[in-house]
Structure 1
Amino acid sequence: MDTATGPHVLRAGEGDVTGEPELLDRYLLESAASSGRVALVEHVLGPKALAAPVHRHSREDEYSFVLAGTLGVIEEGIEITATAGDLVSKPRGRWHTFWNAGDDELRVLEIIVPGGIEALFRRLAEPGGEYSPETLPSLAAEYGAGVDFEATMPLVERHGLVV
């Protein structure tokens, strides 16, 4: 980000958006704009939407700041919920996922340190980018991540989540 010309403001409603209505990602700050130091992505999830299968990253820590709604999180087998104003830490190397645990829209500011894995979010949202349990593990591995579908399905069934 070039600050030589003054402050940069990304206005409400601006920023690149990818995904489907039940799971949208708004890219507020990508790693390329911060020399790889950080990325900021706003996730917007419809009711009972699962953000991703249970997964872990080897390179990034994630911090989820709840803007609106109820966030469900499982990390290393422990489930919690968080609401507007709460911050949830998801350190690298730990199995986790998150979902909309409520009946209203969920908005979460995802702070990714260092940035980089937001590029995977973009790839997953590409038109025709249908990924299956057979193809997603190799794509995730390109970004230093792993997925665990066996741990995901009981979570989906327990909470009646939309995948």
Structure 2
Amino acid sequence: MSLELRALRADDAGGARAAHAELAAEDFAFLPFFDAEEAWDAYLARITRLSRGEDLPPGIVPWTDLYGVVDGVVVGRVSVRHRLTESLERVGGHIGYGVRPAYRRRGYATALLGAGPAVAREHGIDPALVMCDDNNNPAQQRSSSAAAECWRTWRTSPTADPSGATGCPTR
């Protein structure tokens, strides 16, 4: 099974909504700004505008999402923020990713994270900041791999200072 990285399409509605519901249990918003009452095509149009920076709420930055799809099933996503706010410098960074629980430990997270730096470079970001919670050992191992040029961990409290900074520029 090969992982396809792409934007969401009209035929992804069921799988993407299922992924969103599964990861919501882990307090992870798989679909940004998702409204379950909104028609799928309207959601895709709205999220495309927002991700390009059109009509963004305060404190939100433009971003690129690539969804990992295997045999037509949405298994995960990588997001690349095109710039950082002070808040994102502390928690979040440029690159974030998530994989549905049933598809973990198959290499998809590594592939998704590995795609992030190239997307970041397309937007003039080099190095990209990748962050993970300090109690997420698998994510720390992936983040400190060669795919992530710059990574940090943060303590469970988002107000705590980041630790474990490696090769990260300041502002």
Do the two structures share a fold, i.e. TM-score over 0.5?
Answer: no
Decide which structure has greater strand share. Answer: 1
- What is the TM-score normalised by the length of structure 1? 0.32
- What is the TM-score normalised by the length of structure 2? 0.31
